[in-house]
Amino acid sequence: MAVGIVVVTFNRLDKLKIALKSFEEQTYKPEYIVVVDNASTDETPEYLKKWKKDQSDYKKYVITTEKNLGGSGGFYTGLEFAQTLSSDWIWVSDDDAFPESNALENAKRYLEGRETSMISAICGEVINQGEIDITHRRNYTERGLTVVTTSIPTEYYSKKEFEVSSFSYVGAIINKKKLKEVGLTRKEYFIWYDDTEHSLRLNKVGKIICVPSIKVHHDVGKESNHILSWKDYYGIRNRADMYKRHFSKKCYYFYCYNSLIKASINDLLGRHREYNKVSRKAIHDAMLNKFGVDALYKPGWKPQNR
């Protein structure tokens, strides 16, 4: 089993250094590491020039984009290049994901001697501040007019393996043959739901299996009360498009029109006005197939009434 690594980074050099060190310390070395630098404006470009020249047991590649393509564009770029390299499997993660030293070895141990023609991907246990973060491995089920999202319960992680229908790009290892079959990340999403949509595609051509012995620490902290940000626009828009692509029309239209009706009711009641604007535009854009970076809701935007 040969595995390559794709890491996407943007202006988080401290975390990137830890991530790259985590791969350097693997007991089973990767074939290569591809770092996609999403046009960082800090010291990341200089660091990566030096990192690439340092001797290692694996090949190193750095792709620097001309502008920030978001996570979606970054993973598209990295996976597109990785498809041309020699590994059979491709690990994907952001710069804030730090695998334990035996992660790749445990992945190798799981896959070796196993029939992999019907496995699209395997993924590991995500740990956040010492606890299993169940939000990264999920099942999606259509029930009536709605799509039910279920995070895998903590107790499942005591098993040697279990199947899921979707994963995040945190400690996911994709079968390159299946990747070529379903295609790359939807770069037009910019951020959010790109990994979920991609994994739902992969799940249609093979199994996605979570192997808890593959452990990765995710350095994101824990959310308190949610504050509206520019990212919410992409979450609402891309979720609608994902429903359109993977579930029935009735679920897609129910999600869209229910979101618009809720926004209108909230306006009448005088609450959540800023969120209503974001939600309404996101749904309209999804229905009109308007993707990419929005002219208003882009990095740096903040709600007027906070």
The architecture that CATH gives domain 3-218 is Alpha-Beta Complex (3.90)
What pLDDT shows up at residue 305?
63
- The answer to whether residue 202 scores a pLDDT higher than 90 is yes
Of the pLDDT bands very low, low, confident and very high (cuts 50, 70, 90), residue 113 is confident
The span from the CA of 91 to the CA of 5, in Å, is: 5
Mean of pLDDT values over 87-95: 96
Task: Give the CA dihedral 105, 108, 113, 116, nearest 10 degrees.
Answer: 160
Domain boundaries, the chain: 3-218, 223-306
- The answer to whether residue 306 scores a pLDDT higher than 60 is no
The span from the CA of 229 to the CA of 255, in Å, is: 21
Q: Name the average pLDDT for the chain.
A: 96
Q: How confident is the model over 245-264, as pLDDT tens digits?
A: 999 999 999 999 999 999 99
In terms of pLDDT, which residue wins out, 28 or 226? 28
What pLDDT shows up at residue 225?
60
For 118, other C-beta atoms within 10 Å of its C-beta total 10
> 93 with 103: CB under 8 angstroms?
no
What pLDDT shows up at residue 1?
83
Among 271, 282, 277, 270, smallest CA distance to 303 is for 277
- The answer to whether residue 222 scores a pLDDT higher than 80 is no
DSSP string, the chain: --EEEEEEESS-HHHHHHHHHHHHT-SS--SEEEEEE-S--SSHHHHHHHHHHS--SSEEEEEE-SS--HHHHHHHHHHHHHTTSS-SEEEEEETTEEE-TTHHHHHHHHHTTS--TTEEEEEEEEEETTEE-GGGEEEEEEETTEEEEEEPPGGGGGSS-EEESEE-SEEEEEEHHHHHHH----GGG-SSSHHHHHHHHHHTTSEEEEEEEEEEEE------S----THHHHHHHHHHHHHHHHS-HHHHHHHHHHHHHHHHHHHHHT--HHHHHHHHHHHHHHHTT--SS-SSSSTT---S--
What pLDDT shows up at residue 185?
98
In terms of pLDDT, which residue wins out, 306 or 178? 178
Which residues have a Cβ under 8 Å from the Cβ of 58 and sit 6 or more positions away? 29, 30, 31, 32, 33
Percent pLDDT > 90 in the chain is 94
* 30-39, 121-130, 214-223: range with lowest mean pLDDT: 214-223
- The answer to whether residue 49 scores a pLDDT higher than 60 is yes
The span from the CA of 162 to the CA of 179, in Å, is: 21
* 5-9, 56-60, 301-305: range with lowest mean pLDDT: 301-305
- The answer to whether residue 304 scores a pLDDT higher than 70 is yes
The span from the CA of 256 to the CA of 287, in Å, is: 8
What pLDDT shows up at residue 193?
98
What pLDDT shows up at residue 107?
98
- The answer to whether residue 172 scores a pLDDT higher than 80 is yes
Of the pLDDT bands very low, low, confident and very high (cuts 50, 70, 90), residue 221 is confident
Mean of pLDDT values over 192-199: 98
Q: Is 142 exposed, middle or buried (0-12, 13-18, 19+ CB in 10 A)?
A: middle
- The answer to whether residue 224 scores a pLDDT higher than 60 is no
Mean of pLDDT values over 199-206: 98
The span from the CA of 236 to the CA of 238, in Å, is: 6
Pairing of strands 3-9, 32-37: parallel
Q: How confident is the model over 125-155, as pLDDT tens digits?
A: 999 999 999 999 999 999 999 999 999 999 9
